[in-house]
Structure 1
Amino acid sequence: MVHVREMGAADVEAVSTIRVRGWQAAYAGIVPQAYLDAMTVEGDASQRRQWVSQPGRQSRDLVALGERGPVGWICFGPCRSEVPGPGRAGEVYALYVLPDLIGQGIGGRLLEEAHRLMRSQGFEVSALWVLSDNQRARRFYERSGYQADGAAQDDAYDEVTLTELRYRRGL
C-alpha cells in the first residue's frame, strides 16, 4: 500500500533516483544507450532543485511513499501546448515508478491523485506525451482512459530522432 503526498525538498534525491532509474529501465532499446548511461542521479537532482525553486512555477509534484520511502513520482500542471476541443487542459509531464515495483498499482495511484487535483484546479482534460515505441507505457495510459489524439512530435536523443504521441482523456 502506498500513500501519495506533495513532494518536498527532502524528496529531491529520491525523486531523481526514481526518474533516472525509470528512464534507464523504460527506455532501454528505445533511447540510445549512451544517452541513458550518461544520466546521473546527482545531475538530475541538481536540475530538479533549480526547477522546484523557480518562483511562479505552476507545476505540481507528488510522490508515492512505500515501505522504502518514495517509490514513485508524478509531475503535472497546465498543458504546455494547445489541445483541440472544449475544456481547459492540464498535462502530465512525467510519471515514473521504481522499476522493480512497476505493475503494483503505484503509477495508477499517482495518476488518480493527479487527476483529482487537476479537476480541483479547473482542468477538464488531461494530456500527456509518450514515446511511440514505449508500448508498456502506452498500454498503461490506455487502461487509464487515455487515447492517442493524432498529434505527434519528434525529439532528438544523441542525434537519434524519436516520435512522441499525445494522449488525452477527460477528467
Structure 2
Amino acid sequence: MMRVREMDEADIGAVSTIRVRGWQAAYAGIVPQTYLDAMTDEGDAGQRRQLFPQPRRKSRDLVALGDRGPVGWICFGPCQHEMSGVGRVGEVYALYVAPDLIGQGIGRRLLGEAHAQMKSQGFEASALWVLCDNQPARRFYERAGYQADGATRDDVYDEITLTELHYQRVL
C-alpha cells in the first residue's frame, strides 16, 4: 500500500538516493556519463539539507511511501518564469521514482497530488521542463495532459548542451 505525504527532513537521505538513481537511470545516454558518475547521494543530500529548512522557500515537496519508505518524490511551486496569456501558473520542478519501481503508478500518484495542491492554492495551470531526448518522460507527461508549447531552453552538462522542452497543462 502506497501513500503520499509532505516530505520532512528525515526523508532527505532517501529522496537524494531516489533523485541520484533517477538521474543515472533516466538520463543514461542523454546526459554525459561523466556527469552522471560524479553524482552522489551524499552530495545531493548535503545541498538538500541546506535548502530544505529555508523559511521563505516557496516550493513544496511530497514523498510517496511504500513498504521500504520513500519510493518517489515530487517538488513543485510557483512557476519560475513568466507565461503570458495564462493565469496563475504552478510548476513541477522535479519528479523522480525509484528506478526499479517505475511503471507502478507512483509518479502518476505524486503528480496527481501535486496538481490537486496547486489547484487548491489558486494555480490555474501547471508547467514543467523535460529534456528533449527523454522520450519516456515526455510520453508520461503527455499522458497526464501536458503539451509542449514550443518554448525551449538549453542546459550545459560537462560542456555538452542539451535542450529542454517546456510543457504545460490546465489544472
Both structures adopt the same fold (TM-score exceeding 0.5): yes
Asked whether 1:103 is paired with 2:103, we answer yes
Q: Give the TM-score taking structure 2 as reference length.
A: 0.99
CA distance in 2, matches of 1:118, 1:142: 19
SS of aligned partner of 1:155? strand
SS of aligned partner of 1:95? strand
Asked whether 1:11 is paired with 2:11, we answer yes
Paired residues, number: 171
Asked whether 1:118 is paired with 2:115, we answer no
The within-5 A match list for 1:13-162 is 13-162=13-162
SS of aligned partner of 1:113? helix
SS of aligned partner of 2:104? coil
Query: Where in structure 1 are there 5+ consecutive unaligned residues?
Result: none
Specify the code of the residue in structure 2 equivalent to 1:112: G
Deviation at 1:86, TM superposition (A): 2.4
Aligned identity (percent) is 78
Specify the code of the residue in structure 1 equivalent to 2:61: D
CA distance in 1, matches of 2:35, 2:3: 32
SS of aligned partner of 2:45? helix
Q: Give the TM-score taking structure 1 as reference length.
A: 0.99
1:97-134 Cα distance to aligned partner (Å, 9 max, x none) = 00000000000000000000000111000000000000
CA distance in 1, matches of 2:145, 2:167: 9
Alpha-carbon RMSD across the aligned residues, in angstroms, is 0.6
Query: Where in structure 2 are there 5+ consecutive unaligned residues?
Result: none
Q: Residue 167 of structure 2 aligns with which residue?
A: 167
Deviation at 1:135, TM superposition (A): 0.0
1:139-166 Cα distance to aligned partner (Å, 9 max, x none) = 0000000000000000000000000000
1:49-104 Cα distance to aligned partner (Å, 9 max, x none) = 11111120000000000011000000000000012322100000000000000000
The list of structure 1 runs, each at least 4 consecutive aligned residues, that deviate by more than 2 angstroms after superposition, is none
CA distance in 2, matches of 1:84, 1:94: 23
Specify the code of the residue in structure 1 equivalent to 2:35: Y
